Amino acid sequence: MSKICQVLDTGFYADSVEWCPCDGNHDILLCGTYQLDESQEMKQSNSDEAKKMNNQTRHGNVQVYKLNTTDESNSLTKTSAIEMPGVLDIKWSPDLDGENPVFGLVNSVGTAELYVMNHRDEMGGGSTATEITKLAGVTLGENVLGLSLDWANRITKSDPPQLTTSSSDGHIHVHQLISGDLTLLSSWKAHDYEAWITAFNYWDTNVLFSGGDDCRLKGWDLRQKSTTPIFSSKRHEMGVCSIQSNPVRDHLLCTGSYDEHLLVWDNRQMKQPLGDTQLGGGIWRVKWHPEHGHLILTATMYNGYHIVDAHCVSDGKMSVLHRYEKDVSLGYGADWCHIVSLKNLIATCSFYNHSLQLWQFEVQNQDVG
């Protein structure tokens, strides 16, 4: 069962939500949006869909919310919004910049950007305002969309931190934040079509994974000069659009695809997945629970959001604990809150009806313990 706490109108199409993982800031939520400018007349022919998509104008913003926990019913209050080109993915860095949290994003004009958040005392009255300042930015290519990003420092702190990004021309990029600039370490053509997703192995950040519209799931060893993958799986039958390494249990990897299958793998043996669950909708995002390494949250596009129990995945068993489908019209974003006392609080966002949902997953203690 689920308890609906709040549904908010995001104005633009909403496609990503991310709770802050940094201590002292777990009550901060980001929502990324974009809106296609349909007034523009497209000059490309219908046969040139990739160029058409890349040249469409998308407006967007990053909306900052603060969680209110003073009453029995949790709720979000918007504290600021930063206008920019359409945002396609957001990820917080687990490391602070001094005392301030940092997040990265990729957008519709093909750039990756980093922002730092700080809290400012308002006129000495005890209340605070949230300020977002751009820290760095880099271009991912000409006439491309930035599609996804991930940080390498989820488990092992790194200074300076690295992040990986993917773009609509099939490329994967690895950057490092050095002296306030994003320095390119490597970039290569990883997929024949859109590279929908890229993600580090959090337990061995020399390795990263990628998925593309060519239906391939691939692994890469950054210590190798060659751009030959260490594996290339065709287990998914449609485009691979979500990947995440388990931040609690080593060797576990989950992937999602337009083929509607959630797969869990042992990354030491990528010939066959440990578990396979069909969820009835394309799986755009997957999120392992930050504390309980057997729970997976999915944004399942046309079939709402799911919570899957992978506790017995080593025996080939996974079960769907819950499906949330209220106020959903193309579910693109989902994330678990990091507040320990609210470990079952979830934020999701729905694209076409531009809504942000805050809800709690109500289960028995043993299911989330």
| CATH 2.130.10.10 is right for the domain spanning 2-37+51-368 | yes
Report the b/e string of 299-333 with b at 16+ CB within 10 A. Answer: bbbebbbbbbbbbebeeeebebbbbbeebbebbbb
Predicted pLDDT at 233: 98
Pairing of β 171-178 and β 162-167:
antiparallel
Distance CA 256, CA 242 (A): 5
In the predicted structure, residue 4 carries a pLDDT above the cut 80: yes
In the predicted structure, residue 329 carries a pLDDT above the cut 90: no
Distance CA 346, CA 196 (A): 24
What percentage of the chain reaches a pLDDT higher than 70?
Answer: 90
Pairing of β 58-68 and β 111-121:
unpaired
Distance CA 356, CA 349 (A): 4
In the predicted structure, residue 279 carries a pLDDT above the cut 70: yes
Q: Is residue 71 packed enough to be buried (19+ CB in 10 Å), middle (13-18) or exposed (0-12)? A: exposed
Predicted pLDDT at 150: 98
CA dihedral 64, 69, 70, 72 (to 10 degrees): 130
8-state DSSP, 313: G
In the predicted structure, residue 366 carries a pLDDT above the cut 50: no
CA dihedral 140, 145, 148, 153 (to 10 degrees): 20
Mean pLDDT of the chain: 90
Which amino acid is residue 273, in one-letter code? P
Predicted pLDDT at 205: 95
Q: How does residue 185 score in pLDDT terms, banded at 50, 70 and 90? A: very high
Average pLDDT over residues 325-336: 90
Sign of CA dihedral 132, 134, 137, 143: positive
> Minimum mean pLDDT among 17-31, 57-71, 232-246, 278-292: which range?
57-71
Predicted pLDDT at 39: 59
CA distances from 59 to 85, 87, 108, 259, 310 (A): 5, 8, 8, 29, 38
pTM of the model: 0.92
Query: What are the φ/ψ torsions at residue 273 (nearest 5 degrees)?
Result: -70, 155
Domain ranges within the chain, ordered by starting residue: 2-37+51-368
Predicted pLDDT at 42: 43
Nearest one of 315, 331, 302, 322 to 276, comparing CA atoms: 315
Judged by DSSP in three states, 315 sits in helix
In the predicted structure, residue 365 carries a pLDDT above the cut 70: no
Predicted pLDDT at 128: 67
Average pLDDT over residues 193-212: 97
